[in-house]
């Protein structure tokens, strides 16, 4: 029997000795020169994105525990883009990576069941076959329940959007109701789901997305969610430093994964500007990933991994 | 130059003399016997779903202003399902229907731009080419902004999830902060966006999803959002009656659209059980749509259309 998601993720973090997750946000205009699509059809663009992301996956597979494809950039390329995403999820899993589909899905009742089964279902006829999915809590706890049931049945994982990294997250996540900020209310409910899905590693397979641009809140959220794995976006290009994310970890360097997307996959742009890697974009992606891993080891408890 | 979404929608409501929207939620197990897929591959299932939904679209195109495909049920069938969705959106638009993609999408920054362009973008290389999209407000106003810009640039429409119809919507939508329920706070912000996108019809192209299972709140929300078109789900199979949705309309029968999914597209099930339509499922879909239209005309201001 397969281990639960939290146990698989912690094992992968320990094996790779890093909590770094590489985000696959393939903007076509930013692809390396040699991979730019030769025409503007969605098919050609999707093919270019697939080649690029395969190249990124091949480079980072020995280095990190997981990749996080951003579904929006594949949806943007229509059916051909979704086919590319399907192929890339399969490729990443073959390479031993865990795959966190960043879809921020959410709906009610049987529609939520549909999304859960679509992204987290297993077997020959799995639609996408990811290991974990990001979900939006706005619709309420009963709307999360079909996803949690899928976590339990399919040994899958979930990351609930507790606190996002954008300035506007204050609008509906920060208001105080009965002395509790809305995101603290969600955090409390996510912790209950994490406790319900706790594996041998001590963490649950239901995790939380917590933006790194609110470092002063990370300790408070760590307190509120001791059993919950944090997915911290916003490291690197989005502005958070390794020191900013330090409070997300427990003293063993576990309990959190940190995502870098553009900083790694388009790291070759900066490298090329500095003439470090010339035209070898894959080498530059590797260097950028190693650099992010080193920063996390230097400035956080991830150094103990 | 194309009219804005709100003006196109109101024109279609007036032309068809009904605010009924037919939801395309094609659960494979519920397809009519003759359309059941012959094997369990996702390709075969997606083909069956496409044939069924084409049949529904052909029947309802003369009767209603819009269809609302539920993206989850297409995602559930993987890349083949997404190809079917793409084809069906094109088919519905060719038949003169407006298409509201029910994707409940939401993300921040350039990712939100990606979703907006994916669903609402126009032109040869449009990924999906819907007229409008449902979006989730949890991430805040700045996360809605890329969608609103797409509304303005592409004459598209948006429906923001203000108040959903499930019991758990009380968890994060109902708490009071500074005397205002969270959903009222979202409603106030949506009204501002509706005013910013108001067309000649007097309503904005940014609308609100408001569940019909909270009829006591509809009047309050109508007051808070006088320029906002309501998309009211939950009519029919989900439990709301025509009388329950009456408060969503203005005195001319405008200002709201009411969605029925299962009650119409699987109306042939009930009809077959009552031996009304025998095996002709398309005739039964037509009768179910006409029945829903008649109920709305009888019990709401839609009778004045």
Exposure string of A152-174, with b = 16+ CB inside 10 Å and e = fewer, is eebbbbbbbbbbbbbebbebbbb
Q: State the pLDDT at residue B77.
A: 98
Q: Is A128 helix (H, G, I), strand (E, B) or coil?
A: coil
Mean pLDDT value of segment B199-228: 92
Give which of B90, B122, B127, B147 to mutate to test A binding, by max A Cβ within 10 Å. Answer: B127
Q: How far apart are CA B7 and CA B249, in angstroms?
A: 16
Q: With an 8 Å Cβ cutoff, are B164 and A140 in contact?
A: yes
Chain B residues with beta carbon closer than 8 angstroms to that of A106: 104, 136
Q: State the pLDDT at residue B273.
A: 67
Q: With an 8 Å Cβ cutoff, are B140 and A164 in contact?
A: yes
> Using one digit for the tens of pLDDT, what is the confidence trace for B126-173?
999 999 999 999 999 999 999 999 999 999 999 999 999 899 999 999
Q: How far apart are CA B171 and CA B243, in angstroms?
A: 26
The average confidence (pLDDT) of chain B is 94
Q: What tokens appear for B112 in the block?
A: 């939100």
Consecutive H or E run containing B1: none
The answer to whether the beta carbons of residues A43 and B127 sit under 8 Å apart is no
Q: What tokens appear for B60 in the block?
A: 């309802």
Q: Is A105 helix (H, G, I), strand (E, B) or coil?
A: strand
The answer to whether the beta carbons of residues B229 and B7 sit under 8 Å apart is no
Threshold 0.90, pTM exceeds: yes
Dihedral angle over CA of A239, A244, A246, A249, nearest 10:
-70
Q: With an 8 Å Cβ cutoff, are B112 and A161 in contact?
A: no
Q: State the pLDDT at residue B240.
A: 74
- Residue A230 main-chain phi, psi, to 5 deg: -95, 135
Q: State the pLDDT at residue A237.
A: 65
Q: With an 8 Å Cβ cutoff, are B171 and A141 in contact?
A: yes
Q: How far apart are CA B74 and CA A119, in angstroms?
A: 12
CA distance A266 to chain B (A): 15
pLDDT averages per 10-residue partition of chain A, 305 residues: 93 98 96 93 98 98 98 98 98 98 97 98 92 98 98 97 95 97 98 98 98 82 97 78 91 97 85 64 93 95 96
Residues 6+ positions from A89 with CB-CB distance below 8 Å: A69, A99, A101, A128, A129, A130
pLDDT beyond 60 at B278? no
Consecutive H or E run containing B215: helix B215-224
Active-site position among B16, B68, B95, B104? B104
**What is the ipTM score, two decimals?**
0.96
Q: State the pLDDT at residue B275.
A: 60
Q: How far apart are CA B5 and CA B158, in angstroms?
A: 9
CA distance A83 to chain B (A): 5
Q: How far apart are CA A213 and CA A234, in angstroms?
A: 7
Q: What tokens appear for B168 in the block?
A: 């758990």
Q: What tokens appear for B138 in the block?
A: 């949890």
**Segments in A174-240 forming alpha helices (H):** 182-196, 215-224
Closest CA to B170 of B208, B214, B127, B133: B214
Q: State the pLDDT at residue A267.
A: 81
Residue B104 appears among annotated catalytic residues? yes
Enter the DSSP assignment of B136: -
The answer to whether the beta carbons of residues A204 and A227 sit under 8 Å apart is yes
Mean pLDDT value of segment B259-288: 81
Active-site position among A95, A104, A283, A304? A104
pLDDT beyond 90 at B239? no
Enter the DSSP assignment of A4: P
Q: How far apart are CA A112 and CA A107, in angstroms?
A: 5
Q: Give DSSP secondary structure letters for B176-243.
A: EETTEEHHHHHHHHHHHHHHHTB-TTSSBSEEEEE-TT-HHHHHHHHHH-TT--EEE--BSTTSB-HH
Residues 6+ positions from A40 with CB-CB distance below 8 Å: B125
Q: With an 8 Å Cβ cutoff, are B177 and A173 in contact?
A: no
The answer to whether the beta carbons of residues A264 and A22 sit under 8 Å apart is yes
Closest in A77, A109, A177 to B177, CB measured = A177
Q: Any idea which residue has 């395969």 for tokens?
A: A54
The answer to whether the beta carbons of residues A4 and A206 sit under 8 Å apart is no
> Using one digit for the tens of pLDDT, what is the confidence trace for B75-119?
999 999 999 999 999 999 999 999 999 999 999 999 999 999 999
Closest CA to B204 of B228, B221, B185, B226: B228
Give which of B87, B89, B113, B168 to mutate to test A binding, by max A Cβ within 10 Å. Answer: B168
Residue B168 touches partner A, C-beta closer than 8 Å:
yes
Closest in B111, B175, B182 to A72, CB measured = B111
Residues 6+ positions from A258 with CB-CB distance below 8 Å: A19, A20, A21, A212, A232, A235, A242, A245, A248, A296
Chain A residues with beta carbon closer than 8 angstroms to that of B165: 108
Q: How far apart are CA A89 and CA B169, in angstroms?
A: 33
Dihedral angle over CA of B210, B216, B219, B222, nearest 10:
-10
Q: What tokens appear for B176 in the block?
A: 């009071």
Residue A136 touches partner B, C-beta closer than 8 Å:
yes
Chain A residues with beta carbon closer than 8 angstroms to that of B166: 108-109, 139-140, 142-143
């Amino acid at each position: 029997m397969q281990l639960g998601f939290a146990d698989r993720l912690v094992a992968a973090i320990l094996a790779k000795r890093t909590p770094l997750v590489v985000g696959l946000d393939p903007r076509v205009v930013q692809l390396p020169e040699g991979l730019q699509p030769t025409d503007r059809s969605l098919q050609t663009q999707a093919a270019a994105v697939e080649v690029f992301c395969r190249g990124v996956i091949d480079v980072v597979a020995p280095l990190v525990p997981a990749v996080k494809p951003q579904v929006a950039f594949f949806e943007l390329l229509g059916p051909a883009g979704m086919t590319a995403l399907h192929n890339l999820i399969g490729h990443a899993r073959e390479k031993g990576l865990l795959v966190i589909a960043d879809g921020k899905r959410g709906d009610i009742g049987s529609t939520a069941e549909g999304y859960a089964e679509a992204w987290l279902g297993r077997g020959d006829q799995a639609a996408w076959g990811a290991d974990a999915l990001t979900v939006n809590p706005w619709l309420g706890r009963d709307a999360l329940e079909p996803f949690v049931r899928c976590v339990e049945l399919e040994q899958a994982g979930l990351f609930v959007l507790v606190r996002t990294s954008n300035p506007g997250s204050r609008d509906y996540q920060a208001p105080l109701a009965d002395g509790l900020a809305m995101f603290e209310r969600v955090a409390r409910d996510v912790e209950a789901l994490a406790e319900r899905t706790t594996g041998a590693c001590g963490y649950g397979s239901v995790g939380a997305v917590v933006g790194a641009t609110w470092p002063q809140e990370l300790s408070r959220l760590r307190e509120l969610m001791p059993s919950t794995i944090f997915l911290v976006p916003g490291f690197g290009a989005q502005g958070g430093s390794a020191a900013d994310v330090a409070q997300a970890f427990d003293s063993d360097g576990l309990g959190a994964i940190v995502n870098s997307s553009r900083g790694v996959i388009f790291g070759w742009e900066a490298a090329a500007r500095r003439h470090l890697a010339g035209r070898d974009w894959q080498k530059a992606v590797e260097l950028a990933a190693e650099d992010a891993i080193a920063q996390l080891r230097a400035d956080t408890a991830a150094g103990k991994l």
